[in-house]
Structure formats: C-alpha cells, structure tokens
Amino acid sequence: MTDSPVPLSGTTLLAGPSQVGKTRTTARAFEAWLDRHGTDGVVVLEFAPEVERDGELLGGRLDRFTSVPDDVWHGVLDAHAPRADATSDDEALALARENAEHARTVLEAAPKPTAVFVNDATIPFQADHGNVSLLVDHLADAECAVLNAFESDELGAENPVSRRERDVVGTLRERVDRTINLE
C-alpha cells in the first residue's frame, strides 16, 4: 500500500516556491487514496501550466509523476503562465483572466467529489475577477482534498497577478483544515 505524505481526510494545502515537491507530493497522496479507496468519486483538477525557465521544467502537470486512471474525472485547464508568458502587467492580467474563464468551465463540469486533488490551485484565480469560492465550495463535500499552490516572491511581488495570487493563497489557508509549507 502506498504511504501518503499527507492526511487523507479533510483538506490539505501544500504551499511553497517552485521546485520543492508540491506536485510530486500531491501525486503521492493521489496514489495513496487510489490504493486505499479506488477511483469512485475521485476528481483531479489540473490547472498547472507547463513552464520552462533556464532549460528546466518548473511545476508541470500531475501526470508527470503518476498516471491518472481513465475512470477518474480529470479536468484539465490548458493554462497560461501569466508572469512567464507576458511582457507587461496588462498582458499578464489578460492571460490570468483567460485562465479564470476557462477554469470556470472546468470547475462547473466537475462532478461532486469523494476525493479531489488540485494541482496549482491559484492559477484559475490570479485575475481580479477569479472567485476562489468556486474551488472552495467544490472541496467542501469531499472526504479528502489535497491541493497545492505556489507561494513565493520569486516571480515578482508587486505585479497584479502576484498580489492576487497572495490573496488567494491567504484565502485557501483560512479555508482548509491544514497547510503544509514546503521549502
């Protein structure tokens, strides 16, 4: 049986900077849930963009670390990385708004979960009109929710996307049962 790096009950937020193992830890928790409970009612929300910086892939999707079985509901956002892809704050905000619009469609299509695993939970809410309650409400009825979120100033601190992301992480911290800071 796969050991879980986090409790498999209630809601857990994994927070930290790039390259500290947030996605890998989420994948391990996902595998442990599947080993113990199977796939019934499992939802994976994949919001992570694929970003390469200095020849290194940062973050990335959950399926880099584990296979998502066909009978797991797998909602994938083809996400932009607003701060990496944009040349200005206005362009970054426009990309964040596009992520928010597409993420709403993914969240609205997701079935009511028994367990939910969310990769890069802040991406859908980096725009000024992204409503993090959409995600939090979706997690409320799950027996287990594990989500990860970027938390660092390494991509800038004073641009509108970073400021909003900090607010979203703060809201998530307030609304989950526990936060595990990875460094």
The confidence score (pLDDT) of residue 160 equals: 79
Q: What is the pLDDT of residues 23-52, one digit of tens each?
A: 999 999 999 999 999 999 999 999 998 776
Q: How far apart are CA 114 and CA 71, in angstroms?
A: 14
Q: What predicted TM-score, i.e. pTM, was given to this entire model?
A: 0.92
Please report the pLDDT score of residue 87 as a whole number. Answer: 87
pLDDT digits (tens, 9 = 90+) for 129-183: 668 988 999 999 899 999 999 886 655 567 778 888 899 999 999 999 999 999 8
Q: Residue 17 region, left (φ>0) first, then alpha (ψ -120 to 50), else beta?
A: beta
